[in-house]
Amino acid sequence: MVEPSGVQPVPPPLMTSEPGSFAEATIIRRKPQIIEDVIRDNDYPPEIVDALRALEEEILTGEIQPLAEPAPDRAEWDALWCRHVGLTWRNVPWYFAEAFFYRRLLEAVRYFQPGIWQGHDPFAAQKRRQIEGPGGAVTLAAELIPLLPKEPAEAARALIYASLWGNRVDLSNREVLAGAAVQAGHPEDVLIDDSAGVAEFLRHEPHDRIDFVNDNAGPEAAFDLLLADLILEQGWAGQVRMHLKAYPFFVSDAMVKDVRELITRLEGAAQTRDAADRLAGWLQSGILELRDHPFWTSAYTFDEMPADLRREIGAADLVILKGDANYRRLLGDRHWPLTASLEEITAYFPAPYAVLRTLKAEILVGLSESQVQLLRSAEADWLINGRRGIIQLVVPPPR
């Protein structure tokens, strides 16, 4: 990561070798469980199950192995893997370990190889469960719409809150549907709250384009789509562009086909049909664009964004960055002090942006010293338990 001007020296990355850390736990517990879930949810033949079991064993006891399959991206992954030759999964930068795990898992299930399993999403069953049923995306979006304020700016704030908390929605957390009521009921849970500033930025003047860098499929994607619908219906932007994953990643991350399917499902429910019909029309006309790019499923952080994507992102009037992994990549997944300045660290970013992020990793900046002391005294796991979030708007001064 390039050291930003005026900022303290760049700290080391979060490592899977940090004892007792959440990074360590995701490798030794979460990743093997993901493999077990994939085996359970898919009718894979014995040879694929064996490959998945071998990956699980390697994670727990072995050194990180390179890709073995012929694939267009193999040389690029080999170059990254070479930096960690001879190391185990428990002794490497955390974000690399996570990104490479999903690429290795897709190799094990033959996602890119010719045959009946080519293009089969190993997480499809889990994504379906996020769409269907009483706690699924369609039901929750239908319940949210009648609760939205009539005034557009207040509706925007409500949808911003819903979009923030969308990746933790379940049957025991339905108050998220009230959007603004989340803030009214638990204001301390939004540690940095620029929701009013984001809503004002959106409606202040017509924008050419608003971009989303999306996170999860399911309810979160549904709430993102409702926010996009409001932006376009109100004429706050001439276009909305959503940046999605090119292949299955981080289990529930949304791909283009996931969002297309979700819009179709929303068209089938009475409460969501009007919004979904508008979205489908805008999608057909190009006013709503769904894009993917290899960078979003890579092991690179945002300061390493390739030139073509940097130009594309830089053309947006505002970029709405969703979720924990995108926040980690924005900060280089490094041990910044909790009171460090987000604006200074991310001076490299090519456009104004807003972060909507639920805390699920031991990385955060922008707090006051008093906030830090209070949070540390309240809960030992406050950075990772998903209870708190941030909504932060960063608009660089004109150059």
Distance CA 348, CA 342 (A): 11
- Give the mean pLDDT of the chain: 92
Question: Percent of the chain scored above 70 by pLDDT?
Answer: 92
State whether residue 250 is helix, strand or coil.
Answer: coil
pLDDT over 90 (residue 205) = no
- Poorest-pLDDT segment among 174-188, 306-320, 356-370: 174-188
| Helix or strand holding residue 289 (H, E) | strand 288-292
Mean pLDDT of 335-346: 97
Q: Tell me, what's the pLDDT at 133?
A: 76
By C-alpha distance, which of 221, 46, 222, 43 is closest to 122? 43
Given a contact cutoff of 8 angstroms between Cβ atoms, the answer to whether 289 and 240 are in contact is yes
Q: Which residue's structure tokens are 């709405």?
A: 320
Q: Tell me, what's the pLDDT at 8?
A: 66
Number of H helices, E strands in the chain: 17, 7
Q: Which ranges of the chain would DSSP assign to H, the alpha helix?
A: 22-25, 31-41, 46-61, 74-81, 94-108, 124-131, 137-144, 152-165, 180-185, 195-204, 219-233, 256-267, 273-285, 307-314, 323-330, 342-345, 369-378
CA 3 to chain centre: 25
pLDDT over 90 (residue 4) = no
pLDDT over 80 (residue 380) = yes
Mean pLDDT of 45-54: 98
Residue 396 tokens read as 């660089």
CA 13 to chain centre: 19
Distance CA 136, CA 378 (A): 32
Mean pLDDT of 83-106: 97
Q: At what angle are helices 46-61 and 31-41 packed, to 10 degrees?
A: 170
User: What is the C-alpha radius of gyration for the chain, rounded to an integer number of angstroms?
Assistant: 21
Domains of the chain: 22-122 (1.20.930.60), 131-394 (3.40.50.10880)
Return all residues near 234 (Cβ < 8 A) that are at least 6 apart: 152, 203
pLDDT in tens, 214-271: 999 999 999 999 999 999 999 999 999 999 999 999 999 999 999 999 999 999 999 9
184 or 73: which carries more pLDDT confidence? 73
Angle at 99 between CA 97 and CA 104, to 5 degrees: 85
Instruction: Report how far apart, in Å, the C-alpha atoms of 148 and of each of 135, 140, 157, 177, 271 are.
Output: 19, 13, 9, 9, 12
Distance CA 344, CA 341 (A): 5
State whether residue 335 is helix, strand or coil.
Answer: coil
Q: Beta 190-193 vs 210-213: how paired, if at all? A: unpaired
Q: Tell me, what's the pLDDT at 173?
A: 38
Instruction: Report how far apart, in Å, the C-alpha atoms of 72 and of each of 51, 67, 77, 113, 256 are.
Output: 21, 11, 10, 11, 20
Residue type, 181: A
pTM: 0.94
Residue type, 255: M
